[in-house]
Amino acid sequence: MRAVWSFWPAPFALARANAWGTERNHLLAWVLSFECARRHHETTALVTDAVGAELLVDGLGLEFDDVSLSLDRLGAADRSWWTVGKLVAIAEQSEPFVHLDPDVFLWNALPDRLTGAAVFAQNPEAYEPGSTYYKPELIETALTATGGWLPPEWDWYRRPGVVPRGECCGIVGGNDVRLLRHYAETGLRLIGDPGNAAGLAALPERQALTITLEQYLLAACVEHHRTPISYLFPTWAAAGDEPTAIEAGFTHLIADTKREPGVVARLEQRVRREFPGRYERCVALAGSPGTASRQAPVLAAGA
């Protein structure tokens, strides 16, 4: 199974970089995510733009088997929808794959029940109207007011009697590449349809709503098309349980966990010990480490 990463530098610099505390932490994570996963996957691929390739390939020296510069064509696309880079990457795939976020570390190979599945994700996430960060109603209201377009899967998923959810996409992939590409292309159309431009531009919460676009829409497509989906963890709570994560050999650093001092120290030590050449490149590219305060618990500590 092919391992795929994506990196769209423009929205990362705009709103996502601060989660890492320092650029050094960010680069160290890329090294560890790539080097861990390549042990378990036959081929590796990066979907990025020229700026991203200069950083990760030329700068860090990460040896992806395939590098696509497809994100160059995003040009002046609205950077608030930072997950668009991942959707482009998924839409490009033509063989079974797993897409990994660079804050995910696979200490063990993914189990056969995932690599043999039609579609898989990290874990399901409950949708609780009024108390969740999934807010499909905001997108619906904005597009309805301006005569915009919503996918048929979205409308179907909002019917009475359907119990919606989201899919945590720290890892996402599978063997039903047709369905996964359809999902990604649907998300890209929702963002890029000219008839949706006015409604989406009026939304003040676009950066937060990108999770709805990515993870809620995947669940809608899976359910509408009656495609079976498998999970590494059965619930969000299980994913956050340290013994369970250690047994799975899986780490996902969420939110500000990325700059928690203990996590940063372990990340730095591991890369310096196991990949000294890559470590020196991180130091040369990013300089001295910064400081950060504890702000979030580790989701899964398999390191």
pLDDT digits (tens, 9 = 90+) for 150-161: 999 999 999 988
Higher model confidence: residue 300 or residue 53? 53
Q: Is residue 176 part of a domain?
A: yes
Q: Is residue 232 part of a domain?
A: yes
* Residue 14 pLDDT > 90: no
Q: Is residue 24 part of a domain?
A: yes
pLDDT of 162-171, one tens digit each?
A: 989 999 999 9
pLDDT at 76: 83
Query: Do the beta carbons of residue 29 and residue 258 sit within 8 Å?
Result: yes
The residue behind tokens 């790539």 is 34
The side-by-side arrangement of strands in the sheet containing 44-47 is 66-68, 44-47, 2-6, 97-100, 165-174, 119-126, 229-231
Residue 123: which of 180, 170, 168 has the closest Cα? 168
In this structure, of 7-16, 42-51, 196-205, the range with the lowest mean pLDDT score is 7-16
- In the chain, how many domains are there? 1
Give the rounded distance of the alpha carbon of 58 from its chain centre. Answer: 23
Q: Is residue 224 part of a domain?
A: yes
Q: Is residue 181 part of a domain?
A: yes
pLDDT at 16: 73
Q: Is residue 299 part of a domain?
A: no
Residue 127: which of 248, 223, 62, 206 has the closest Cα? 223
* Burial call 130-140: b when 16+ CB within 10 Å, e when fewer: eebebbbebbb
Residue 302: which of 235, 255, 232 has the closest Cα? 232
* Residue 110 pLDDT > 80: yes
| Arithmetic mean of pLDDT, 14-21 | 81
What's the domain range around 50?
2-286
The residue behind tokens 């709805």 is 212
Residue 268: which of 44, 38, 47, 21 has the closest Cα? 21
User: What are the tokens at 294?
Assistant: 């504890």
Q: Is residue 292 part of a domain?
A: no
Q: Is residue 151 part of a domain?
A: yes
| Arithmetic mean of pLDDT, 106-112 | 97
pLDDT of 187-200, one tens digit each?
A: 999 999 999 999 99
* CATH assignment at residue 157: 3.90.550
